[in-house]
Amino acid sequence: MDQNKRRWAMIGGAAAAGVLIGGLVFGTVATASAQEAQQPSGTSQQSGQNKQPRDESQSQRPDEHLLTGTDADKARAAALAKYPGATIQRVETDSDGVYEAHLTTADGKRVTVEMDKNFVVTGEEQAPGHK
């Protein structure tokens, strides 16, 4: 009789586990379907690409940090001397340890102005795909 009780307990436990796993699978599929339904057509989350606009006033990489205080003031001044009338999105350290200012020029071009530790402009990069 003990053997029959054990067998039924094992069958009951296996059935409960199957129900639990089935519920988890169903919940995961339902969640994924709901997320897809909320996305506008033509958008994709493949490769972590998210179509939400990014905040240009914040650093975009973990190895770059926003400048503050007099360093920020000096970086802004150097960038605006090179591009008068530009709008500065942010000034930050570069991954190489120098400074950079991300800006939009008066004629709408997005440019990154690179500076050395003395805030002397050493180069620039135009953002790809922009004017």
CATH architecture of 69-126: 2-Layer Sandwich (3.30)
In a 13 Å sphere around the CA of 76, the CA atoms on its Cβ side amount to 13
Report pTM. 0.54
Give the separation between CA 123 and CA 61, rounded to whole angstroms: 20
> Which among 45, 41, 72 is positioned nearest to 57, based on CA atoms?
72
Task: Dihedral sign for Cα 111, 105, 54, 129, please.
Answer: negative
Give the separation between CA 126 and CA 111, rounded to whole angstroms: 4
pLDDT score for 52: 58
pLDDT in tens, 45-94: 444 455 656 656 565 656 667 888 999 999 999 999 999 999 999 999 87
Tell me the pLDDT band of 95, cut-offs 50, 70 and 90.
confident
pLDDT score for 82: 94
> Which among 111, 71, 62, 69 is positioned nearest to 89, based on CA atoms?
111
